[in-house]
Structure 1
Amino acid sequence: MSLQVGDKAPDFTLPDQSGAPVTLSDRLTQKVVVLYFYPKDNTKGCTIEACSFRDSYETFTEAGAEVIGVSSDTVASHEKFAGRHELPFILLADTDKAVRKQYGATTLGVVPGRITFVIDQEGVIRHTFSAMLKFNDHVDQALSVVKELQSA
């Protein structure tokens, strides 16, 4: 079962593409976080989604948000994926799928899902969106919510 709007986002620490630990609660002290779970580095849909977040990255940062991607790929895989596509945001390696499980980011309970969460600075989930094939909708919806939070 996926987390819902209004739920407190579970805190976690995972390594980023350089191997450095990233803790969600530390990031939330600075900005709203757009946390997106995706199935696998270097697959067609995941590349389209990541590049869409990349192309809107400046707009997200100007709106006071940080984009963070999560998959079960390794640190080394994330490093190559981020480098190949010039991704300016953090990719986290959830190799044991523990964080994915905490967030309920699966499809049919078993397949790694494509789910985006917008989490405010108090750690409350303000938006969720789950769609395996609507890659760009994740970006569009998240950006809309981030802008709403900024104007509130």
Structure 2
Amino acid sequence: MKELKVGDVIPHFTAIDTEGNTFDSTSVVGSKPLVIYFYPKDNTPGCTAQACSFRDQYEDFKDLGAEVIGISSDSLASHQKFSKQYRLPFILLSDSDKTIRKIFGVPTGLFGLVPGRVTYVTDKQGVVQMVFDSVLATKHIPKALQAIKKLVL
């Protein structure tokens, strides 16, 4: 499992989104800057804080032409409930078999017991410009916003 690094191109992937549709990465990769964040689990304190922080700053990302995508191994039903409960305006993808996590090389935390929390920022061409790996959930949002601003301003 090779971890994606700055300068790598986001690999192609598909997953089920909160609407139950198949999301294909080619629909956004290569057309706009992206924030792709992997998080451990819906409805846990850190993950909820992180999702709500991305929600609260979503318009800032959109104003800069960027899209936010959250990915965890939770089920479609869990994502639908989580997204509705917290009015999340961005895409959540279900990676129940951890295929996307493996493609990106997202490490696990806490001695391999907890899925890692990593945020990737890509430019319009799908090239990784920032990788932020931290258990501190709410630190991801300002880092991602700063990276997007550097790309477009």
Shorter-chain TM-score category?
Answer: over 0.9
Q: Give deviations 1:8-46, integer Å, cap 9, x for gaps.
A: 111101110111111112112432110000000000100
- Please report the TM-score for the alignment, with normalisation by the length of structure 2: 0.93
Determine if the alignment matches structure 1 residue 119 to structure 2 residue 122.
yes
Deviates more, 1:78-87 or 1:97-106: 97-106
Count the aligned residue pairs: 150
Q: Structure 1 counterpart of 2:116, which letter?
A: G
Aligned to 1:145: 147
Determine if the alignment matches structure 1 residue 106 to structure 2 residue 120.
no
Q: Structure 2 counterpart of 1:31, which letter?
A: K
Q: Distance in 2 between matches of 1:66 and 1:8?
A: 17
Q: Distance in 1 between matches of 2:108 and 2:85?
A: 28
- Please report the TM-score for the alignment, with normalisation by the length of structure 1: 0.94
Unmatched tracts of structure 1, length 5 or more: none
Q: Distance in 2 between matches of 1:30 and 1:99?
A: 20
Determine if the alignment matches structure 1 residue 74 to structure 2 residue 75.
yes
RMSD of Structure 2 on Structure 1 (CA): 1.3
Offset, 1:106: 2.2
SS of residue in 2 equivalent to 1:146: helix
Q: Distance in 1 between matches of 2:123 and 2:21?
A: 23
SS of residue in 2 equivalent to 1:121: coil
Q: How does 1:41-120 map to 2 (within 5 A)?
A: 41-108=42-109, 110=112, 111-120=114-123
Q: How does 1:1-40 map to 2 (within 5 A)?
A: 1-40=2-41
Q: Structure 2 counterpart of 1:9, which letter?
A: I
Offset, 1:122: 1.1
* Residues 25, 123 of structure 1: 8 Å contact kept: no
Write out the 4+ residue segments of structure 1 that deviate beyond 2 Å after TM superposition: 106-111
* Residues 32, 125 of structure 2: 8 Å contact kept: no
* Residues 117, 129 of structure 1: 8 Å contact kept: yes
Q: Structure 2 counterpart of 1:147, which letter?
A: K
